[in-house]
Every structure is written in C-alpha cells, then in structure tokens.
Structure 1
C-alpha cells in the first residue's frame, strides 16, 4: 500500500454507522401521549395499546444521586424493580416527569412506572403534576425550536430572503462594474468597519481592492429580525433603516470560559453538563449551510439551546455568500435566543475542506470578506465571530496577516484561533508563540486606527487551570477556547474559575455521567429510541473521559493532554472501571443508568484500539 492508503487505514473505525433502535410494535406517539390521533385509521403507526404494553420491554430504574457508590455494584437499585413492564407504585421515577410534571412520551416512556397508573379495564392513565407544570410552563425546556412550517418553506425553496437577494445582486453589479473597467460611484461603499463607525452614514469608506469590495447601497438594505413571512416579504418594497456598527451587540468576553463547538460530542446534553460546571460561553455543533437551507430537521436541531447556557452561539460552515448569507438571515429571523453566530474557518476534515468550506477559507480572503460582510448585514444586531487556524499548510502560517484585516474591515465581533494548521490536524502541540504574534498584530492595528477592541480567544492543549492561565498571561488572549480538555475533564471549567487542580473523586465523576444521562433523556426522549440515542452519546462521552488520569496517581502536576499513563489500578474499584479503555466497559457503565442494552445494539468505538477482541468487543 502507498503511504496515503496506509494513513487512511490507521487508527480509526472509518465506517461507523448508527441505526435507531425501535420497539417491535411501533406505537403512534400522538396516541401514546393524548389518546387521540388526527390521522385515525390512516395513521402508519399502531394504536393497539394492550398489544403494545404486552410487548413493551420492562421499565428502567433511573438512579438518584443517593443511589451511587464507589463500591460494586455502584448503583443500588431496589429489589422490586423490573418485575413488570410498568412497575406502577414502585421506586421507578421518570427523570423528565420528576422535573416538569409531565412526560411527552406518554405510554411509550421507558420509565412509565413513575407517572402511569393501570386502570381496572387494563388501560393506563398518565399522571401529571399540575404544580410543576405551572411553574415550568413559562420556561420552555429548550429554545430555538424550528417549527415544521419554516422547514417546509426551506425545503420547497419558498422562504423569502430579501436581504440576501439585495446583497447578492449588489455583489453581481460590483463584479460587472469591475469587469467593464468603470469605477463605482462615490458614497456607495459602506462595507468596511471604519465607515460603519462614522457619525455620517453617507461618508465614503475606504475599500481594500480584492478584499472587502462588496458595495451595497444602504437604501437597498432591508432590516432583519421580522417574525412573520408577510413582514419579511414587505421588506423587499419598504426596507427599514439598516443596522450600524454601534447598534450591534457587543461581546464582553473578559473573564469568561468558552466551551468550543465540538462535532458529534458537543451536543446539548454535554453543553448542559459543562454549563453546570462553569462554562460561560457555549457554541452548538458545526452545521452545514447547505443542509440548513435544505430544511434538514437534524441540522436545525443543532441550534437548540437550553436555558442554563448563559451565552450561546451557532456555528455554521459554508463555501460562498450564496449559502452563508441566507442561512444567517433565517437564523436572525427565526432563532431569537442566539447571542452570536460563528463562521467556521478552521475545520480540517477532508469532506469539508474539499468543498471550499472550513479551513479552505483561510486561503480565500476575498471570498471570506464577502461572506462576513453579508452575514453581518443579514444578522442585524446579532454579532458575527470567526474561528480560525494558523494556516492551511504546515510551516506556512497566514493568520497574522488575515486577522488584522478581518478585524478592521469585516466587522467581526470576536475571533478564536486554534494553534495548529489544517495539515497538522490535531498532531503536535499547539503553537502558542504564534498565537501571541497574531494577538499582537491585531492589537497594533486597533491602536493605530483607533478601532474598538475585539476579543481574541486562543485554543489548543488546554488541559488544566495552570495551562489556561499561563496561556492567557503569556500571549495576551482574552481567554482560551477549551475543546478536548473539556471532553476529557468536563469539570475543567470549575478548575479554571477557582484556579486550582481538582482531585475529583470517582463518585463525583459517576454523578457527572448520571447527569449526562438525565440531560440526554430530556433532550432525546424517554422512549426506546431516545434511551438508546442517549446511550450512544453517553458511550461517546466515556470514550474521552476514560483518558483522565487522577491527580493522586500523577508524579508531576498538572497532567498534560498528551500524557498517556500506563495501566493502573485506581484508588477504588469505580475509579479503575472509569479508566478502562475497553468499549465493553463503557457500555456496562451506560447500563447503570439506562438499563441493559437491547439485543442487536452495538457501540462501535472511534478508535480500533478500544474495541478489544474485534467485533465481540463492540458492546
């Protein structure tokens, strides 16, 4: 095999596939919750409740915090649990119903014993807690829920994009003008950050050739933020006054901790867990602009936010203004609980890079500027941030030239810089000396031209409180975006805020996994499909957390992200279990909270070295 072929086969299970697990008799969820279904006999799902209850798996006992122990069996479940399909009146409780007084899964809930009562005629009555329902009605469980009507408009290409149409038209006019050799009229270029800061909105701005050269007449620019389609369409004829730079929300990120957007593992339950441990800024998983515009339900689920997230952003990836500007316009109009939108210019994976998205934008500054300017216009008062890498090719760093330009001319509200090139991916240590060079270049440009200070966060190899504060002190960044350090140690945000290394106990770590399972059930659902989706992501989380080496076993403090400890026996049996690299043990831990894994369900670890014994080691 060639070197490239060997590289493709090394290290990871490339073809992981995840299938949803359904019950033998798929009961209609509407009928299970309310006892009625608008489709009646035409419904594709079953309405046979007695038959469903006869085939339904046994209830699952979800442990409370008091049930956990560092000694086997680690979870103390009552003896009567699991005797019947719905152990009504037993110690079983539904974690969702217990918090909000209702459960949207109804009879399909795998914790039915906590809120279901079997009647004399064999039917089941769903119990509700009216007091809890009243107290939680004003605070929805999740925010930024995208209605099906909007998704349908996107899928059928009927969603109105007044701002995008005007902006792309202006871009095309500029292109035609430049090709014909005719100069643009004075006073029409208002795209640079300097022009937006002036008191006179009609003052002519400087235009950098080949970079921020996308003039849009301000009288053609409609304002975003309208909630109805009729008002959005009305913007085409009677546009509102456009937002100026001073009206943009300012991001005050000083002394804030930032959880990086993490594909697959940075889901809402994990972000809730990190927010509970002190993460101030969270960002959703990277979403593809093309899938957003196609009305993908899965893609739009990435913008969901929990109320516990103090400052929340949405990250998007795309290759051109025609994709990213309309995506920003939809987000601005439909998602009212978004604090910022982050443009991904750092994703190194081939599938993204080869389409011209992610880190490919680092080598296309002209296109990048047009994207940022258009997104700023479409988002209105919502600020735009950028996530970058040091460059594309190893040894050819370019961000020290790019960052001052986009900071000055493209009106970005904040920048984050990962200290590796696209070619390095996640190998070698992050180059923090170069991050300092980039910070100095941006601060010098701001000082020379009297520009507002833009927050800059660095990233790479932050695994402890000492790493964090040394990086902040030595480089001048406003903070450090924590990624893999948070996957291995979700409690790292507590360490950072308290400026200490936490020798967390195995019992406390198990409580963190219990909370993750609880948040997963709340997000994905308490039916069979939701339980096993939660199980999959819980195993993904453990696949990182097992790498944590307890402080009591280290010879030198703090531990480093690239340290690999030899096999060790923990201070108790639970600590040893949590450090197991065998994926079968990860599934065993998930069964403490989510019951036995169903027959046919498997967890394929990302790294082959964790699948001991080949196929039989995959859960």
Structure 2
C-alpha cells in the first residue's frame, strides 16, 4: 500500500484511516470557473421574472471555423439554465392580491382556486433549529410533496423578512402566510409590524428607477461631468499634437503603443473650465472637481475583504460571507457598456443587502467615455448606496482581455490613468479603487511601476494586487515577494512626497488564518482580498477574525448551506422560478465547497489551497456527502432545503473537474 509519505507533491495529507484511494482527485479548472463565456449569461434577475430575462434571443455571429470551435471548447460557452414556471401560471398581480390592469386580455391565469388546485404541495423550509434533524438524502424520502415532517413550522423567507410575501399565492411556502376566511376563501396574511419595519429598513438597496433605465436605453441620459472631462481631454490632445480631435462626441485615447505624458497635471488636477451653460447636456456641471485630498478616505486596515466573484459572488453569497465576518464586499464584475444600455441584468449586480456595511461595485471596460459615464450614473442613481467603485484591471479571461478591458489595461497606463481620473471626478466623494494583476506576461511584471502613480496622479483610493500575471492564471503560486516590492514602492513615494496613505490589499492562495496573517505581516499589505478561499470555505472570515483554524463540523457547514438557501429565496423569490434560481446558485456554491478537506482528518495543518486530496471518507455520513464531487449529490443537498428538483432541471458545473465528468 502506498504510504502517506510517498504521496506525490501537492497532495493533501489526509490521515490514513480516512483514505479510500491514494489516487488524487482531478484538479478543478479554476481558469474555466473564472471565465464563463458571455458575462451576461450568469447575471442575476431577482425581480420581474414574469417578463423575459432578456429581450429577444442571442444574436447569431458568423459561423465558427473548426479551429475557433476547438479554442472555445471547455470554456462553458453555452451553459443554459431555463426558467421554470408552474404548469398553470397565475398572473403575478392577481397572485399578490392586486388587480391586473390588463383584465381579460392578460395572457396569464386569473383563477386563484384553479391555480391552487393544480399547484404542487407546499415546500417545507427547515428553520435554523431544525438543521440538526434534517435526514440525509436516501435515508428517507425527504423531498416528496411537503418535503419534511409536518411537525415543522411553515416558513417563508420573504414573509419572515418583509412581513408580506410579494409572490402571494405563487409562493411555494404559501402555508406560512395563508388562512381561510369565514367564507372559506383563501386569503393572504400580512404582518403589519414587520411590513412597517421592512419599509423603513430598505433590506435591499440600489434599485435604479425605471425612468433612469428608460433614459439609458433611449440614449437620452445626460452626462454633464463626462462631457466636461471629455472637453478637457480634447483640449489637452489639441495642445499636445496641434491637431483637432476627430469628433467632439468621442473621448480620444491613445493606442497601447503610443506614449503620453501623464505627469502633466492638466488632465488630472485642473479645474473643469468654462463650458457653455446653455447646452442641456452640461447643466449642473460642478465648477470644481473633487480633489484627491477631498475624497472620502478609506480606512480599511485590518478589515476582511470578499473579492468580487464571477457568478457565485451574488447578493445571497455575499450575505453569507458577511454573516461569517466579511467587512468589505464587492458585487460581481459588470460591463460599463451594459450598464449604459440600461440592462436589467447588469443593474441587478449593484443590489446591496442592508447587512453589507462596506459595499462596492466593480466595473470593466476599455473605453474612457463608457467607464466615466457609468461612474456618473452610479453616483447619481445609487447615492448613499455605494461606498466605492472598483475598476477591474485584472480579469484574465480572453473574452474580456481581447476587448482591451480587464488585465489588458495594464499594458496601457495612459488609458488607465484617464479612466481612473475621470471616474474619480464623476463619482464625487465616492472613492475609486483599482484591482490589478502583477502584469500581463510571465517574467514581465509591471505593477511596481504603475501602483505608485495610482493614488497621487490618478486619484485611486485603494489598490488591490493579485500576485499573478494574466498569462499565469492559476498555474503557479501567487508571488507575495513581488507584492511586497510593490507595497514598498508605493509607501516610498508616499513618504518622499508626504502623500496620503492609500490602502493596499494583496491576493492569492490565502486559505487559512495562519496564511492570511503571515502574508499581511511579510508583505506590509493592509489586508488580503479573499476569493477562492472564500468560495471553498466561506467561514474563512471567521478564522481570520479570530486568528484560529476552525475544524468546522458537517452540521455547522450544513447550517451555512441552509442559510445560503434562505438568502437565495429572499433575493430571487419563493415562487417556482425563484426556488430553482436559488437552487442553481446554491449548486454553484457547492461546486466549490466540496473541495474543502476537513481539518480534523488532516495530518498536517494548515491546509493549502493548491493541494489536492485523495479520495476520502468523512468522519460521518454527512461529511462524506459534502465532500462528494458528483454534481448530482449537490442537487440532492439542495433538495434538503428547496424540495425535489424538477425532472427537466439539470445543473452543469462551470469548471472541469471530476464533478463535471460525472454528468451523464
């Protein structure tokens, strides 16, 4: 038999009595998990699910060659999750107790009694105190009809939080807010006290108005700050080159191979200048832009930071991480052009839960005008609901990089400077933060040259550095020595010029409290932005806060999964569509959490994120189930909280792994 000491490098040292096979499990492809094809395909659509999530179908591009098809293989370009409806669909307005303005012309059913007769039985959602008694899938049939023991109290997460359920009779947990009147007619229940509290609490904020979305869609939204900034850049270009700019309506940026003197203060710190106030587009333009010294200062030293995460980093998951101790959260990357088109899907990404104490929005784009304009809209429409706006200069996926966005901006500091400075101006006192990688190509790190300029020259309020190049992706360990070099370069300039201190967060491979604080102490960063570590074990924030390694039990982990399911229902809804949307994102989270190896079965601590475990059994049946890489088991776990998955519903993992291969 193979001895543990003979295991290949990179294998987690699981105690011999728990090992089922000495062959390591297949390494999940985190590069594939980070890139999901078209970014908008994974977007949240929490409200208005009766309307189509997207207008029209996807546009068909030119026919791909064989080489192009091969290049796209394995990148999950065509993941599809259909929206499921009830067999007899009830009008949303009627379901919530309102009158439908379309009357008999409404395409949906208005007969409540007929709908309730055809509707599947209520689901039973276990409350926190019930988690210890939830039977495992296969032990008994826990998912038929009501789902759990009838002794469990009916519970609707939306009703519990808001005092009324906006899904009304369509709710799959209807028994929690339904009673029969004296005449025997079913009636919806409201908790007036909770309704009053919820109205003042604004549980979810940053909802853009329909009027603003219409102005964006019809291109009638006014951008006075962007126009003024554009005029400044145009004037500087004329002064530099002596040639007129091509168009008064386009912000001119230099191409990557062109050089421009960004040390000149005119682009960054000068006043807005005289503008024709009779032009409607520039009404209310501020006379003087907010200076760097006047921006809201970010004091993030010692705070924990959940990175913006593709797909999984939605509001329910962020809420879960906050419950474990995350201080700073940032929404999933949104495309500036999609924000400006008024996309419902993109604007859903800026939703913020009241528990998120420090919340930011992350933008990606390559055009100065688009990013500055998006910043201006955010400042106007989400005033008070956004604490910072993060510019993504680190995304490595081809789809983003080839448009000049993400990590492509690292090779064009001229354009990057214009973007950050313009966004800073458009956002007023809201700080701009910048997320970087060490460089684009291996062996050609550039961040140490760029980072010292981001604060004093471009008005960046915080810098985050992922310790890998774009080319490297996740194939090697993060370079924390280089992160220290970059931190030292920034601090040296701050000391030499007596500049305000800009917070710096590092990132890469932190998977334990010990690793986190070791990286902080050795590199001089203010903290570590947690990404994959938080995906695999969201309770890492508790470990960091308490400076301990938590041998979390399987039931404690199940409590977290239960909470994530509840947060999903509160956000996506409790009708059939919302339940299965919640199920989809719960399975997305489980596609990372199964990779956690319980500390109690390891011979060597702390665990490392790049170590692969041999096939092992847990200390109990539940721990073994939670370690399953079979995506069908993730669906079974979801059924413990969300009822039986519909026959036509299937989950396809994003990344290649043994779980992906298990899909038959």
TM-score under structure 2 length normalisation: 0.83
Partner secondary structure for residue 657 of structure 2 = helix
Change beyond 3 A, Cα 1:613–1:572: same
Aligned residues: 582
| Match of residue 413, structure 1, among 453, 461, 468 | 461
Query: 2: distance between equivalents of 1:526 and 1:373?
Result: 43
Alignment partner of 1:441 is 2:494: no
Query: 2: distance between equivalents of 1:612 and 1:156?
Result: 42
Partner secondary structure for residue 551 of structure 2 = coil
Aligned to 1:604: 652
**Shift in Å, 1:252:** 0.2
Alignment partner of 1:248 is 2:310: no
Change beyond 3 A, Cα 1:240–1:13: closer
After superposition, the C-alpha distances for 1:234-261 in whole angstroms (9 at most, x for unaligned) are: 9626745432333210000011000000
| Match of residue 166, structure 2, among 71, 96, 104 | 104
1:213-232 correspondence to structure 2 within 5 Å: 214=267, 218-220=271-273
Partner secondary structure for residue 625 of structure 2 = helix
Partner secondary structure for residue 51 of structure 1 = helix
Query: 1: distance between equivalents of 2:543 and 2:263?
Result: 45
1:137-156 correspondence to structure 2 within 5 Å: 137-156=199-218
| Match of residue 415, structure 2, among 367, 376, 387 | 367
Aligned to 1:579: 627
Query: 2: distance between equivalents of 1:476 and 1:134?
Result: 47
Aligned to 1:229: none
Bigger RCO of structures 1 and 2 (CA < 8 A, at least 6 apart): 2
**Shift in Å, 1:70:** 7.6
| Match of residue 230, structure 2, among 156, 165, 168 | 168
After superposition, the C-alpha distances for 1:477-515 in whole angstroms (9 at most, x for unaligned) are: 110000000000100011001100000000000000000
Change beyond 3 A, Cα 1:90–1:499: closer
| Match of residue 299, structure 1, among 346, 360, 364 | 346
Aligned to 2:426: 378
After superposition, the C-alpha distances for 1:54-94 in whole angstroms (9 at most, x for unaligned) are: 2222211100122223884379999999369xx99983221
Partner secondary structure for residue 270 of structure 1 = helix
**Shift in Å, 1:325:** 0.4
Query: 2: distance between equivalents of 1:396 and 1:213?
Result: 30
Alignment partner of 1:59 is 2:122: yes
Aligned to 1:345: 393
Change beyond 3 A, Cα 1:302–1:362: same
Asked if 2 retains the 8 angstrom alpha-carbon contact of 1:345 and 1:389, the reply is yes
Asked if 2 retains the 8 angstrom alpha-carbon contact of 1:211 and 1:365, the reply is no
Alignment partner of 1:136 is 2:198: yes
After superposition, the C-alpha distances for 1:559-616 in whole angstroms (9 at most, x for unaligned) are: 0001111111111110000000000000000000000001200001123434477653
After superposition, the C-alpha distances for 1:396-450 in whole angstroms (9 at most, x for unaligned) are: 1000001112222111110000000001112210011110110111111111111
Alignment partner of 1:328 is 2:381: no
Partner secondary structure for residue 228 of structure 2 = helix
Query: 1: distance between equivalents of 2:345 and 2:618?
Result: 40
Change beyond 3 A, Cα 1:209–1:520: closer
| Match of residue 331, structure 2, among 284, 288, 309 | 284
Asked if 1 retains the 8 angstrom alpha-carbon contact of 2:273 and 2:287, the reply is no
Partner secondary structure for residue 607 of structure 1 = coil
Alignment partner of 1:308 is 2:371: no
Asked if 2 retains the 8 angstrom alpha-carbon contact of 1:171 and 1:215, the reply is no
Partner secondary structure for residue 34 of structure 1 = coil
Query: 1: distance between equivalents of 2:83 and 2:478?
Result: 38
Query: 2: distance between equivalents of 1:239 and 1:420?
Result: 40
Partner secondary structure for residue 385 of structure 1 = strand
Partner secondary structure for residue 529 of structure 2 = strand
Aligned to 1:202: none
Query: 1: distance between equivalents of 2:637 and 2:80?
Result: 22
Asked if 1 retains the 8 angstrom alpha-carbon contact of 2:401 and 2:408, the reply is yes
Asked if 2 retains the 8 angstrom alpha-carbon contact of 1:163 and 1:221, the reply is no
Change beyond 3 A, Cα 1:433–1:218: same
Aligned to 2:438: 390
Query: 1: distance between equivalents of 2:572 and 2:138?
Result: 23
Asked if 2 retains the 8 angstrom alpha-carbon contact of 1:69 and 1:75, the reply is no
1:177-192 correspondence to structure 2 within 5 Å: 177-180=239-242
Query: 5+ unaligned residues in a row in structure 1: which ranges?
Result: 183-206, 223-231
| Match of residue 37, structure 1, among 81, 88, 100 | 100
Query: 5+ unaligned residues in a row in structure 2: which ranges?
Result: 1-64, 245-259
Query: 2: distance between equivalents of 1:407 and 1:234?
Result: 30
Asked if 1 retains the 8 angstrom alpha-carbon contact of 2:337 and 2:370, the reply is yes
**Shift in Å, 1:123:** 4.1
| Greater mean alpha carbon deviation, residues 172-181 or residues 119-128 | 119-128
Change beyond 3 A, Cα 1:290–1:221: farther
Query: 2: distance between equivalents of 1:285 and 1:344?
Result: 10
Asked if 2 retains the 8 angstrom alpha-carbon contact of 1:170 and 1:215, the reply is no
Asked if 2 retains the 8 angstrom alpha-carbon contact of 1:88 and 1:117, the reply is no
Change beyond 3 A, Cα 1:45–1:119: same
Asked if 2 retains the 8 angstrom alpha-carbon contact of 1:286 and 1:315, the reply is yes
Query: 2: distance between equivalents of 1:364 and 1:88?
Result: 63
| Greater mean alpha carbon deviation, residues 173-182 or residues 563-572 | 173-182
TM-score under structure 1 length normalisation: 0.88
Change beyond 3 A, Cα 1:14–1:237: closer
Query: 1: distance between equivalents of 2:150 and 2:600?
Result: 44
Aligned to 2:90: 27
**Shift in Å, 1:43:** 2.8
Change beyond 3 A, Cα 1:18–1:39: same
Superposition RMSD in Å: 2.9
Aligned to 2:81: 18
**Shift in Å, 1:116:** 1.2
Aligned to 1:510: 558
**Shift in Å, 1:174:** 1.7
Aligned to 1:560: 608
After superposition, the C-alpha distances for 1:99-158 in whole angstroms (9 at most, x for unaligned) are: 331111111111001101244766421001112222222101201111211111100011
Asked if 2 retains the 8 angstrom alpha-carbon contact of 1:292 and 1:299, the reply is yes
Change beyond 3 A, Cα 1:2–1:155: closer
1:259-274 correspondence to structure 2 within 5 Å: 259-274=306-321
Alignment partner of 1:548 is 2:625: no
Query: 2: distance between equivalents of 1:259 and 1:79?
Result: 34
